[in-house]
């Protein structure tokens, strides 16, 4: 039986996420380096579309490879360390575009990138990545994808709450219903207890 919230949360599988990143790399448009960097940053940090636009050059510590994430909707700001692929993609984009101040992710007109543009890019890359479920073609899917993948990686609920910037753990709990890894661990604990009859 499906839970009521199952309909609300859409996320990309690990395979779909990899296909999305590969598609951005192989399309080779003049914005490829920007798009790869922003999608990787959004995925690594679990950011909303509107939060991507808030990232300033001064929020990025290049030496440490860390981004100060300004969270919206009552969430808590935090600093996330980037993985090597994301750091390399971001550094390449910054260097190629001589970014040294202001918003990191900009539109063609030089304004902070808009939510509408991010939704357009998500639709475009999902289409070319042959992701069949069109209900996933929204940028907010990236935040849900991050949350589910981290839950699957054995991150505990308090760690995931901090990572996503959730003020309340109730907002984090929903992501644990999508992974079977926690269930498998629970069953293996029961099976290993010799006193169970």
**DSSP of 59-74, one letter per residue?**
GEETTTTEEEE---TT
Side-chain-facing half-sphere of 142: CA atoms under 13 Å: 28
Confidence (pLDDT) at 180: 62
The count of structural domains within the chain is 1
Cα–Cα distance, 20 to 26 (Å, whole number): 10
Question: For residue 42, which of 98, 91, 80, 97 has the smallest C-alpha distance?
Answer: 80
Contact 131, 20 (CB under 8 A): yes
Name the DSSP class of 76. Answer: P
Confidence (pLDDT) at 5: 43
Range of the domain at 100: 11-192
For 51, the 3-state DSSP assignment is helix
Contact 55, 104 (CB under 8 A): yes
In a domain, 2, yes or no: no
Q: Taking the CA atoms of the chain, what radius of gyration do you get in angstroms?
A: 18
Question: For residue 75, which of 175, 9, 162 has the smallest C-alpha distance?
Answer: 162
In a domain, 133, yes or no: yes
Checking 155-161 for CB contacts under 8 A at 24+ apart, the result is: none
In a domain, 163, yes or no: yes
In a domain, 102, yes or no: yes
Mean pLDDT by 10 residues, the chain (197 residues): 54 96 91 96 97 97 97 96 98 96 92 96 97 96 96 90 95 80 67 58
In a domain, 1, yes or no: no
For 177, the 3-state DSSP assignment is helix
In a domain, 110, yes or no: yes
Cα–Cα distance, 139 to 46 (Å, whole number): 11
pTM for this predicted structure: 0.88
**CATH assignment at residue 162:** 1.10.443.10
In a domain, 4, yes or no: no
Cα–Cα distance, 79 to 45 (Å, whole number): 9
In a domain, 129, yes or no: yes
């Amino acid at each position: 039986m499906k839970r009521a919230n199952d309909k609300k949360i859409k996320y990309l599988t690990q395979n779909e996420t990899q296909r999305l990143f590969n598609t951005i790399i192989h399309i080779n448009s003049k914005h490829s380096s920007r798009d790869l960097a922003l999608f990787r940053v959004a995925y690594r940090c679990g950011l909303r579309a509107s939060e991507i636009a808030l990232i300033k050059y001064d929020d990025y510590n290049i030496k440490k490879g860390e981004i100060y994430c300004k969270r919206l909707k009552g969430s808590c700001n935090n600093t996330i360390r980037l993985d090597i692929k994301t750091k390399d993609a971001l550094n390449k984009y910054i260097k190629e575009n001589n970014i040294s101040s202001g918003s990191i992710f900009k539109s063609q007109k030089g304004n902070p990138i808009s939510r509408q543009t991010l939704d357009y890019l998500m639709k475009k890359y999902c289409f070319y990545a042959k992701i069949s479920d069109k209900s996933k073609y929204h940028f907010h899917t990236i935040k849900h994808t991050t949350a589910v993948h981290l839950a699957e990686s054995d991150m505990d609920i308090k760690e995931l709450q901090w990572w996503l910037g959730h003020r309340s753990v109730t907002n984090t709990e929903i992501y644990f219903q999508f992974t079977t890894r926690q269930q498998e661990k629970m069953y293996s604990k029961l099976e290993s207890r010799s006193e169970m009859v």
